[in-house]
Amino acid sequence: MIYQRSLFSNQGFKVSQLQTLFEDILTVLWGDWLKLRVRIVQVAASGLISPLIYILAFGLGLGSSIRPGSGISGNYGNYLEFILPGMVALSSMTISFGGTTFSICGERLFTKNFEELLLVPVHPLALHIGKMLAGVVRGLMTSGSVILVALLLTGNWRFLHPLFLLLVVLNCAVFAGLGVIVGLTVRSLESVGLYNNFIIIPMSFLGATFFDPGTLPGILKIVVYLLPLTYASIGLRAAAYLPLSQFPWYSVPILLAMAIALSLWGARVFSRQQD
């Protein structure tokens, strides 16, 4: 299906078109929420296992031998405090991407009801953003569980700072948007595994979740700063522990720009979808 409605008419921008787009987004999101709300506990717990393992193995195990000033800056009491914001970023990335991808793949390849969605008279951008927001909800459920664990372990209420939560939402939006695109383009679940093995898993370890990217050599630093998870990790870490004067404000517009770019790309993929 190729849907041709434009948000802009030849006479210029119309407020009613923006209102229609917003209503269409809520409609798509509501459809996914009806299926998601019966599995809230399952979704929230499914992405919590890996972060807990990393916290136990690296934060409480290996982390006991790592001291501030040795591989990490001296702004943290211990290595556990250093990696907890990264675990929030990691969990939000994993579930936002994986949950969104498998949800769309299930509709396309197994239940075969994805064609019904393509026949709905809504703009492709609304389809993408609606699906993306459903992925954001999934990511927030799991990352919220990790934030709760972080609060219990550190007692640091800055994990609930509005700037911290904003970065979590933006990180979810980036990877949920990527998940929508992957879900629309893959032809089998095996292909999803390839994306997970070659993109998500490497990014989990290279996205500044376990180390300070400032300590890397020049070439490796360039590679690490090409990854969106890096900006989420360093931003969350700064929001949780550093004063606002030291916050890397560039992380917010970079993540926002990535989310917008993926939305436009996803809308284009939706407009050409012919399942």
Q: What is the pLDDT of residues 127-181, one digit of tens each?
A: 889 999 999 999 998 899 899 999 998 888 999 999 999 999 999 999 999 999 9
3-class DSSP state for residue 81?
Answer: helix
Q: What is the mean pLDDT of residues 90-95?
A: 92
Q: At residue 11, does pLDDT exceed 80?
A: no
Rounded CA separation 92/100 (Å):
12
Q: How many CA atoms lie within 13 A of 114 on its CB side?
A: 21
Q: Which has more pLDDT, 25 or 71?
A: 25
Q: What is the pLDDT of residues 185-223, one digit of tens each?
A: 888 877 888 888 888 988 988 898 888 888 888 888 899
**pLDDT reported for residue 71:** 58
Q: What is the pLDDT of residues 34-48, one digit of tens each?
A: 888 877 877 777 777
Residue 68 pLDDT class (50, 70, 90 cuts): low
Rounded CA separation 125/107 (Å):
19
Q: What is the mean pLDDT of residues 14-30?
A: 81
Q: At residue 1, does pLDDT exceed 80?
A: no
Count CB-CB contacts under 10 A for residue 159. Answer: 23
